[in-house]
Amino acid sequence: MAFKLDSKIPAGELAQKWSNHKAAIKVVSPANKRKLDIIVVGTGLGGASAAASLGELGYNVKIFCIQDSPRRAHSIAAHGGNNAAKNYRNDNDSVYRLFYDTIKGGDYRAREANVYRLAEVSNLIIDQCVAQGVPFAREYGGLLDNRSFGGAQVSRTFYARGQTGQQLLLGAYSVLNKEIAAGTVKSYPRHEMLDVVVEDGEAKGIIARNLVTGEIERHGAHAVVIATGGYGNVFFLSTNAMGSNGSAAFQCYRKGAGFANPCFTQIHPTCIPVHGTQQSKLTLMSESLRNDGRIWVPKKIEDVEALRKGTKKPSDIAEADRDYYLERRYPAFGNLVPRDVASRAAKERCDAGFGVNETGLAVFLDFKTAIERLGKDIIKQRYGNLFDMYEEITDVNPYEEPMMIFPAVHYTMGGIWVDYNLMTTIPGLYAIGEANFSDHGANRLGASALMQGLADGYFVLPYTIGDYLSKKIQAPKVSTDTPAFDKAEKDVKDKIAKLLSIKGKQTVDDLHKRLGHIMWEYVGMARTKDGLEKAIVEIQKLRKEFWADVRIPGGDKEFNVELEKALRLVDFLELGELMARDALLREESCGGHFRTEHQTEEGEAKRDDEKFAFAAVWEYKGEDAEPEMTKEVLDYEFVHRAQRNYKD
Amino acid sequence: MNFTLKIWRQKDAKSAGKFVEYPIKNISPDTSFLEMLDILNNELIQKGEEPVAFDHDCREGICGMCSLHINGHAHGPSQAVTTCQMYMRKFKDGDTITIEPWRSAAFPVIRDLVVNRGAYDQILQAGGFVSVRTNSVPDGNAIPIPKADADESMDAAACIGCGACAATCKNGSAMLFVAARVSSLAKLPQGRVEGARRAKAMVAKMDELGFGNCTNTGACEAECPKAISIAHIARLNREFLSAKLKD
């Protein structure tokens, strides 16, 4: 049965939709909130801000994370900043401009109403975080400073050195701690959600594994919120943390939640290139570096060869012999084009043979001009920690020689389908932040992930969840002693027992690396029909091999890291196939999804709005069955879809 | 490069632990320290042995999940980096490398190199926040803050809560961790309102959880992967004393 998707977008003018909606939805009285339980899974910006805000409202909240403390969720690693339409710089920014840049940046594949709401609440985020004591960068007059990010011609990014994600998360974690101390929130660190329990068609709780003891636990609630981030680690190598995974989201999909646009993956242009075969993850160099760094490769192939042989240093290459290809191709935005455009342009130069390191898979990010213009001290003030990190990893001093960078998997725009209330196709089950699909279309702009996580958690979900819970005020405490909980717990235990009984020859990491190779090769930066078909077959084969030959040492009732990784890989092995299917279906290029067959003469992404102006929402039909796709048509009432232009 | 690894193995909190030696060969100098442990674990699993449990996550030096005493130093011999940011080129070919978990009464071992740092969360829950509700706040620019104060607050806020300070301190004191949070908020007008209560509550919780007293040895600052200055401890002491005097 196909989904009946109702996005619940309110009627009315774009700027009035959210106000109208808030006025129309129901609220729950304080006396009734005390009787209602909510589970939040994940403690990043979305989860922590949601749990704290819901606790303040008086609900009983349980929050789960896989790390040893809520403070360590991967939001903490975001460098650059948080966008907001404050217009403090007087550069003609506005809510509409932030909305428009985000819609355009996402290549017109996001919902207008959701994106407008995001832009609308962006300003509240800054106010909220300042009040919590987040030490944002300041100007000498004591007021907040801004910088620029890709895909925008205004300076609207608020930042705290190169550690904005850390500071915003510590802010959200601090108010979470306030609520934990007040007793409204109970924290479950080192716990992993292994299933969502659905009963009478509604979410009723989760099954979680205590990662220290291995105990399988049941937790019931009147609503469940998934805030577990993205699934970029399906590629094995990505900028995600080692533990980041798609399993919580995938269990929701298995239980009947729609999964939207799984193929929309963001490949970030400025990461440290891969070295060797034993690498465990890729390190991001902040997009903020593109404020002052210039990206180039040599114009002459003989210079490329000299660099690879080591007979020339980058600084030996004359200005006239450098190809600043982003400035050449996109004069209006230059080095600050959106991420998808910058990544593809780097790939184009490397494919043409101009890549600069031994592997041919790197371009330069050069601060020479900026150091001449501003002096080394100012560059050090702005980017010192990033320069130090680069030198620590590569042993090259970026004040002397340019950095070498290459695109890497960074973020997933696709995710669990949600309506305007952030509710999935399962009543009572919500998804927020990177875990949902709603706001970034086919490509996310820099400094917008933090914005979305906090917008959802502080300012959207606390209102919209009340509309659902207002119908539950007569409901008793959710019992976990029911057939649905029995079955979910048994399924989880059976799966673990099956994994441990295989006792094969291959390690989880070795199998995961092979999945990563398939994904990067065929479902990476450039995708073709043949390649995607091949990927589906290869992933299916690998999945069989995994279930026949994986080796997991140790038992279930103990701290067992290999078992945790294996459980996550089980889901990646299915998610990878779903991503390939989605990419195969979408016969157009848009944002981060580039089908080689669909490009303009200049090599730009060629959308097909006639056929593909929709979100592809997938429904699970069983492990070896083909999933069914339902379209949510993206009607644009307010914005005219144009070919994205960053040239003039 | 080749190394001999001397690693602390301990089945769980109740079992006794011991050092076990593992030779490891053909490691590229560009391999990170934790990637070297990944390689070792992959070999151990292939051989049918139990892999070494260690905490890690972002591998970018910001989440604070990784730990390890390496040759007697928290986060290894390099200054101002976390274990995950250390590369094998920092060691000499043929070195014997000793790897232990944090040694602190307040951080009990869970398994091998993994410890329980929940005590740090509890200290922050005692008062490491500004009591502000979602949405009941003024405009961001309604609170001007001198740049120098904001910068100093940020210096303290760079703490990643990894536990190196308490694990390094001969008294097992968490003063640098507590001071970083108290000082970061003390430098901002938003944090001043609850300043006295915060300093008292966090120090009391730290004492209650079994952390030791600070005797100003400065070891914490030297081993802190974020180079948090002990000047923040001086500020914490001022905050604490002035709060106590008002009692």
Structure tokens at A576: 């990878």
Inter-chain CB proximity A127 and B137 less than 8 Å: yes
Query: What's the rounded Cα separation, in Å, for the pair A450 and A81?
Result: 7
Q: Which pLDDT belongs to residue B8?
A: 98
Query: What's the rounded Cα separation, in Å, for the pair B97 and B76?
Result: 10
E strand segments, A397-482: 403-412, 415-416, 429-431
User: Does some domain include residue A488?
Assistant: yes
Partner B contacted by A135 (CB < 8 A)? yes
Query: What's the rounded Cα separation, in Å, for the pair B82 and A320?
Result: 41
User: Does some domain include residue A591?
Assistant: yes
Same-domain status, A281 and A402: yes
Q: What residues are paired with A205 via a beta bridge?
A: A197, A220
Distance from the B129 Cα atom to the nearest Cα atom in chain A, whole angstroms: 5
Please work out, in degrees rounded to the nearest 5, the angle formed at the alpha carbon of residue A104 by the alpha carbons of A594 and A19. 135
With beta carbons less than 8 A apart as the criterion, state whether A215 and A233 touch.
no
With beta carbons less than 8 A apart as the criterion, state whether A591 and A597 touch.
no
Of B53, B120, B139, the CB nearest to A561: B53
Query: What's the rounded Cα separation, in Å, for the pair B33 and B3?
Result: 12
Show residues of chain A in contact with B28, CB under 8 Å.
275-276, 278
Inter-chain CB proximity B56 and A389 less than 8 Å: no
Domain with residue A528: its CATH number is 1.20.58.100
Structure tokens at A539: 């992933």
A416-426: b or e for each residue (b if 16 or more CB lie within 10 Å)?
bbbbbbbbbbb
Structure tokens at B206: 């730290």
Q: Tell me the C-alpha to C-alpha distance, in Å, between residue B199 and each of A291, B167, B195.
A: 40, 22, 6
Query: What's the rounded Cα separation, in Å, for the pair A578 and A582?
Result: 6
Chain A nearest-CA residue for B107: A68
CA nearest to A508, candidates A233, A122, A151: A233
Give how far the C-alpha of residue A197 lies from the chain's centroid of Cα atoms, to the nearest Å.
Answer: 25
Same-domain status, A288 and A402: yes
The answer for residues whose C-beta is within 8 angstroms of residue A486's C-beta and 6 or more apart is none
Inter-chain CB proximity A161 and B154 less than 8 Å: yes
The answer for residues whose C-beta is within 8 angstroms of residue A166's C-beta and 6 or more apart is A76, A77, A78, A160, B62, B158, B160
A contact test, residue of B58, B59, B137 with most A CBs within 10 A: B58
Q: What sign does the CA torsion over A576, A580, A583, A585 have?
A: negative
Structure tokens at A27: 């609220």
The size of the A-B interface in CB pairs under 8 A is 208
DSSP designation for A281: -
B contact test, residue of A63, A127, A395 with most B CBs within 10 A: A127
Q: Are strands A37-41 and A60-64 parallel, antiparallel or unpaired?
A: parallel
Query: What's the rounded Cα separation, in Å, for the pair A408 and B143?
Result: 39
Inter-chain CB proximity A241 and B59 less than 8 Å: yes
Same-domain status, A487 and A406: no
Q: Are strands B3-9 and B18-24 parallel, antiparallel or unpaired?
A: antiparallel
Domain with residue A401: its CATH number is 3.90.700.10
With beta carbons less than 8 A apart as the criterion, state whether A223 and A203 touch.
yes
H or E segment to which residue A356 belongs: none
Chain B nearest-CA residue for A277: B31
Of B32, B45, B161, the CB nearest to A551: B45
Same-domain status, A406 and A533: no
Query: What's the rounded Cα separation, in Å, for the pair A517 and A539?
Result: 10
ipTM associated with this complex: 0.98
User: Does some domain include residue A549?
Assistant: yes
With beta carbons less than 8 A apart as the criterion, state whether A50 and A461 touch.
yes
Q: Which pLDDT belongs to residue A536?
A: 98
User: Does some domain include residue A403?
Assistant: yes
Could you give all domains of chain B from N- to C-terminal order, each with its CATH number? 3-111 (3.10.20.30), 118-245 (1.10.1060.10)
Active site residue A339: yes
DSSP designation for A235: G
Q: Are strands A191-199 and A202-210 parallel, antiparallel or unpaired?
A: antiparallel
Inter-chain CB proximity A284 and B57 less than 8 Å: no
The answer for residues whose C-beta is within 8 angstroms of residue A586's C-beta and 6 or more apart is A263, A593, A595, A612, A616
End-of-domain residue from the set A410, A425, A454: A410
Of A133, A160, A462, the CB nearest to B190: A133
Query: What's the rounded Cα separation, in Å, for the pair A306 and A301?
Result: 9
Per-residue pLDDT of chain B (247 residues; tens, 9 = 90+): 999 999 999 999 999 999 999 999 999 999 999 999 999 999 999 999 999 999 999 999 999 999 999 999 999 999 999 999 999 999 999 999 999 999 999 999 999 999 999 999 999 999 999 999 999 999 999 999 999 999 999 999 999 999 999 999 999 999 999 999 999 999 999 999 999 999 999 999 999 999 999 999 999 999 999 999 999 999 999 999 999 998 8
User: Does some domain include residue A514?
Assistant: yes
Same-domain status, A395 and A275: yes
User: Does some domain include residue A100?
Assistant: no
Q: Which of A72, A209, A290, A339 is catalytic?
A: A339
Of A67, A77, A177, the CB nearest to B125: A177
Partner B contacted by A215 (CB < 8 A)? no
Q: Which pLDDT belongs to residue A229?
A: 98
Query: What's the rounded Cα separation, in Å, for the pair B128 and B108?
Result: 23
Residue span of the structural domain in which A372 resides = 270-410
Which stretches in chain A have pLDDT values below 50?
A: none
With beta carbons less than 8 A apart as the criterion, state whether A77 and A165 touch.
yes
Q: pTM of the entire structure?
A: 0.97
Q: In chain A, how many domains are there?
A: 2
Same-domain status, A300 and A387: yes
Determine the residue type at A184: T
Inter-chain CB proximity A67 and B65 less than 8 Å: yes
The dihedral formed by the CA atoms of A438, A444, A446 and A447, expressed in degrees to the nearest 10: 0
Q: Which pLDDT belongs to residue A292?
A: 94
Return residues 3-42 of B near A (CB < 8 Å). 12, 28, 30-32, 34-35, 38-39, 42
Chain B nearest-CA residue for A56: B133
Distance from the B216 Cα atom to the nearest Cα atom in chain A, whole angstroms: 27
Query: What's the rounded Cα separation, in Å, for the pair A407 and A420?
Result: 33
Q: Which pLDDT belongs to residue A644?
A: 85
Query: What's the rounded Cα separation, in Å, for the pair A175 and A171?
Result: 7
Q: Which pLDDT belongs to residue A286?
A: 87
- Quick count: other Cβ atoms within 10 Å of Cβ B246? 8
- pLDDT, one tens digit per residue, over A333-344 is 999 999 999 999
Inter-chain CB proximity A67 and B57 less than 8 Å: yes
End-of-domain residue from the set A410, A442, A463: A410
Estimate the crossing angle of helix A112-132 against helix A95-105, to 10 degrees.
120
Inter-chain CB proximity A241 and B61 less than 8 Å: no
User: Does some domain include residue A535?
Assistant: yes
- pLDDT, one tens digit per residue, over A357-383 is 888 999 999 999 999 999 999 999 888
Inter-chain CB proximity B140 and A559 less than 8 Å: no
Query: What's the rounded Cα separation, in Å, for the pair B38 and A87?
Result: 48
Inter-chain CB proximity B60 and A553 less than 8 Å: no
End-of-domain residue from the set A391, A410, A429: A410
User: Does some domain include residue A141?
Assistant: no
H or E segment to which residue A198 belongs: strand A191-199
